[in-house]
Amino acid sequence: MQREISSFADALGPDRDLLTFNRGIEREALRVSPGGQLARTPHPGKFGSKLTHPQVTTDFSESQLELITPVHASASEALADLDRVHRYVYSGLGDEILWSASMPCVLQDNASIPLAYYGESNTGRLKTVYRSGLGLRYGRGMQTICAVHYNFSLSEDFLSWLQQHEASTLDRHSYRSSRYFDLMRNFRRYSWLLTYLFGASPAVCNSFVRGRNHNLQSFDEGTSYLPHATSLRSGNLGYQSDTQAERMKVCYNSLENYVHSLADAITTPHEPYAALGLVSHGEYQQVNTCILQSEAEFYSSIRAKRVPGKGENFLASLMEKGVEYIEVRLLDVNPYLPLGIDESTIHFIDTFLLYCLVTDSPPHDDLLCGEVSSNTLATVYEGRKPGLLLSDQGQPRELQQWGRQLLQELEPLAVLLDQAQGHDNHKSSLCAQLAKLEDPEKTPSGAILADLTRDGVPFFRFAMNQALQHRDAFRSRPLPESELAAWDEIARQSVAAQQAIEAADQVDFEDFLRQLASEYQPLRSGT
């Protein structure tokens, strides 16, 4: 590894200024009442149309905001934009509050969790029906779990240099996709490290596990937990699907395998989902009864992405034009941070992703795919356990020892990035992560359990206290009236855009779904 990294650094040499990335952030947050209950109010009208607004929309529930930044060339710019959208949102929330954690507030039954509504266009109805299907398949409670998604891409100038350096004769689209898949395989192989360092969900409100089988322990009368857990959100209580694990084999070895595997799952009927019913009382309650309703249902720590053109099928666009960026999906919302993420975290992730790109990325066979799953779950449930053993290509490795080795290998890349950008933030972030490996109580998960113990409060009260602090911080810095007016204009334009979409529909919803399904057939394996 060190030889590969040194060779890369030496070759880049005076061209280190080419080493630039683009990133965007998506932060999910539940709207809650002053008492901490899930808000039952509609998406605030001040924010315009959640179908078409570029920065303020919803995820699964009407009560679950998704705040989005445009693409930025620096971490600080992306976070500044995320801060502005939070301050804008607080100008229209009334007395409601943004929940501070990944794991949800106190929940009632499924029926009390409203599905997001996107209007009566075919596109809008599709979004709501898709969410209805998720609720049927996995329960609405699971869908209220929130995350931070980090969208990352390499600059075109850097990719061009890298292709020349590697003397690749592939066309640009094929080269770009191939190298992103190299990166993603390594990311999956080492993703347990990010789960350990940034996992922030070691405990849940008892309402979340009410009536469910689980292996959690009782922390207090309102909280369940595991003493060495890092990210329960990433385990079997959260975004894991046994159906997907058993019936899909997405190995990340190539773009073709990735697209074919997802298309197969979207077009392969699954009897248990058929038993739930496609239509109830004349209304669709699932998009289909297949293993996946769409590629969006694929639960993974990282995804290949691109922005399809108007009217394009996403997978068809991905196959034809290649990977445009990747989406990192394993980050918990850090309840200590008003934005859920900070600059130090981003600098480490950037260094980590560069490492995944420039080091050898062996194809994933059954052994490696199995280790991705087993190492992830071991870290989720017992990551802070002293002496925890993971598996590295069939050999046992102690988590902290392996983690320290990886950080040592990351260091020259952190230095290279700092030299390129004229600061020492990447190296400083590396030092902060090393401290977490030396002392597990310095991880977010360790700190949360320590605070629950010290303050004698349940998870709900801890997360609510953090949410109130963040609310006060945002409201103490209201946006200038000129900026609020600009946001209001974006909201007005989004409403007009939704109305135009609704007016343009020319087929009924059933025909729309039939056409949608037909677009996946040519993308199946063996076609």
Residues 285-306 have a mean pLDDT of 96
What digits encode the pLDDT tens for the residues 380-397? 999 999 999 999 999 999
Indicate the Cα dihedral angle 425, 157, 83, 305, nearest 10°.
Answer: -120
Least confident of 194-208, 236-250, 353-367, 492-506: 236-250
Say what the pLDDT of residue 170 is.
95
Say what the pLDDT of residue 241 is.
64
Distance CA 167, CA 173 (A): 15
Say what the pLDDT of residue 239 is.
59
Whether 384 contacts 201, CB under 8 Å: no
Confidence of residue 489 (pLDDT cuts 50, 70, 90): very high
How many Cβ atoms are within 10 Å of 277's Cβ, its own excluded? Answer: 13
Residues 143-158 have a mean pLDDT of 96
Say what the pLDDT of residue 129 is.
98
- Of 408, 403, 404, nearest to 390 by C-alpha is 403
Does 329 have pLDDT greater than 70? yes
Distance CA 129, CA 116 (A): 10
Amino acid at 367: L
- Whole-structure pTM value: 0.96
Confidence of residue 500 (pLDDT cuts 50, 70, 90): very high
* Upper half-sphere CA count for residue 71 (Cβ side, 13 Å): 14
Confidence of residue 238 (pLDDT cuts 50, 70, 90): low
For a pLDDT cut of 90, what percent of the chain falls above it?
A: 89
CA 294 to chain centre: 17
Say what the pLDDT of residue 16 is.
85
* Greater pLDDT, 3 or 108: 108
Distance CA 303, CA 150 (A): 11
Q: Phi and psi dihedrals of 433, rounded to 5?
A: -75, -35
Confidence of residue 1 (pLDDT cuts 50, 70, 90): low
* Upper half-sphere CA count for residue 240 (Cβ side, 13 Å): 16
Does 247 have pLDDT greater than 80? no
What digits encode the pLDDT tens for the residues 23-77? 999 999 999 999 999 999 999 999 999 999 999 999 999 999 999 999 999 999 9
* Greater pLDDT, 108 or 501: 501
Residues 324-343 have a mean pLDDT of 98
Confidence of residue 261 (pLDDT cuts 50, 70, 90): very high
Residues 157-180 have a mean pLDDT of 95
Confidence of residue 240 (pLDDT cuts 50, 70, 90): low
Does 527 have pLDDT greater than 80? no
- The highest-level CATH class for domain 2-523 is alpha beta
Residues 407-423 have a mean pLDDT of 94
Residues 250-263 have a mean pLDDT of 94
* Greater pLDDT, 239 or 518: 518
Q: List the structure tokens of 197.
A: 């360092």
Confidence of residue 157 (pLDDT cuts 50, 70, 90): very high
Say what the pLDDT of residue 216 is.
96
Say what the pLDDT of residue 3 is.
72
Residues 6+ apart with CB under 8 A from 198: 231, 331, 332, 334, 345, 443, 444
What digits encode the pLDDT tens for the residues 74-107? 999 999 999 999 999 999 999 999 999 999 999 9
Say what the pLDDT of residue 249 is.
81
Average model confidence (pLDDT) across the chain: 95
What digits encode the pLDDT tens for the residues 440-470? 999 999 999 999 999 999 999 999 999 999 9
Distance CA 335, CA 493 (A): 33
Confidence of residue 109 (pLDDT cuts 50, 70, 90): confident
Say what the pLDDT of residue 211 is.
84
Amino acid at 152: F
Say what the pLDDT of residue 13 is.
82
